[in-house]
């Protein structure tokens, strides 16, 4: 153990902690800036790459719904989610991807949590109109497949909308093999998604016969 380094860092953390007594002089926006800086710094202590170790707070108007998420929630479950947040707080950050260089983010997973934070006055006030997020560095098509993976891992997805996503990925020239790998489907499932929409006929001469060899 490098005792000298540990002592130096510990002293630095202590100095930062003692300055917290002066936080009352700062606005919420200024405190959020400090929180995000500390989150960024703390995530670098362990050289782990898991996004959950770097939660950030983003103004709610900068967090936008996507137009491809094949996940809906029934009214009873939505009410239960609302009650859960009111009772336990937000226990999981929203997963987002960077929309562009203008500071906006697109929801990958957590659309219903985001909606509640934005629309329920008491929940919104409890977070000062900020949304806790973790950011995935993904391209547009990678964000779509990430959304599907999150939904399917919980057993929450709609077949028709999942099939529509497969269409979009095929239009982006993804092979059946890549779709299956990224969405956790076997070749028969990928084919079934395309058959649901009639896409199988349209692509029958392209890669069905070779993608899984």
Higher pLDDT, 74 or 63: 63
Q: Answer yes or no: is 148 within a domain.
A: no
What is the number of structural domains in the chain? 3
* pLDDT at residue 35 tops 80: yes
84 shares its domain with 167: no
Q: What is the pLDDT of residue 139?
A: 85
71 shares its domain with 35: no
86 shares its domain with 169: no
Q: What is the pLDDT of residue 136?
A: 94
Average pLDDT over residues 116-144: 94
35 shares its domain with 57: no
| Cβ proximity of 190 and 167 under 8 Å | no
Q: What is the pLDDT of residue 201?
A: 47
Q: Answer yes or no: is 153 within a domain.
A: no
Average pLDDT over the chain, rounded to an integer: 82
182 shares its domain with 210: yes
| 2-6, 78-82, 198-202, 206-210: least confident range | 206-210
* Angle of CA points 204, 206, 209, to nearest 5°: 75
Please give, one letter per residue, the 3-state secondary structure of 52-94. Answer: HHCCEEEEHHHEECCCCCCCCCCHHHHHHHHHHHHHHCCCCCE
Q: Answer yes or no: is 144 within a domain.
A: no
- What is the rounded CA–CA span in Å between residue 166 and residue 152? 14
26 shares its domain with 79: no
Average pLDDT over residues 171-191: 80
Average pLDDT over residues 44-62: 93
Structural domain including 52 reads 48-139
Distance spanning both ends of the chain, measured CA to CA: 52
- What is the rounded CA–CA span in Å between residue 161 and residue 34? 40
38 shares its domain with 55: no
Q: Answer yes or no: is 152 within a domain.
A: no
Share of the chain above pLDDT 70, in %: 83
Q: What is the pLDDT of residue 161?
A: 62
CATH number at residue 108: 3.90.1530.10
10 shares its domain with 40: yes
Supply the pTM of this predicted model: 0.71
| Cβ proximity of 111 and 69 under 8 Å | yes
Q: Answer yes or no: is 146 within a domain.
A: no
1 shares its domain with 55: no
How does residue 212 score in pLDDT terms, banded at 50, 70 and 90?
A: very low
Average pLDDT over residues 31-43: 92
How does residue 72 score in pLDDT terms, banded at 50, 70 and 90?
A: low
41 shares its domain with 68: no
Q: What is the pLDDT of residue 142?
A: 84
19 shares its domain with 71: no
131 shares its domain with 176: no
Share of the chain above pLDDT 90, in %: 37
């Amino acid at each position: 153990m490098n005792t000298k380094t540990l002592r130096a860092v510990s002293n630095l953390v202590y100095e930062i902690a003692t300055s917290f007594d002066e936080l009352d002089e700062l606005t919420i926006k200024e405190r959020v800036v400090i929180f995000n800086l500390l989150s960024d710094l703390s995530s670098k202590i362990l050289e782990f790459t898991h996004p959950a170790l770097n939660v950030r707070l983003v103004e709610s108007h900068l967090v936008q719904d996507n137009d491809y998420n094949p996940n809906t929630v029934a009214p009873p479950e939505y009410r239960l989610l609302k009650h859960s947040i009111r009772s336990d707080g937000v226990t999981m950050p929203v997963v987002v991807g960077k929309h562009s260089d203008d500071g906006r983010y697109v929801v990958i997973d957590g659309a219903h949590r985001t909606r509640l934070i934005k629309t329920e006055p008491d929940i919104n006030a409890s977070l000062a109109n900020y949304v806790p997020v973790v950011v995935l560095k993904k391209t547009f098509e990678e964000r779509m497949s990430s959304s599907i993976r999150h939904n399917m891992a919980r057993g929450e997805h709609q077949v028709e909308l999942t099939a529509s996503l497969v269409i979009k990925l095929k239009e982006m020239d993804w092979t059946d093999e890549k779709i299956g790998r990224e969405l956790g489907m076997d070749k028969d499932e990928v084919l079934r998604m395309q058959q649901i929409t009639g896409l199988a006929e349209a692509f029958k001469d392209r890669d069905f016969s070779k993608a899984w060899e």
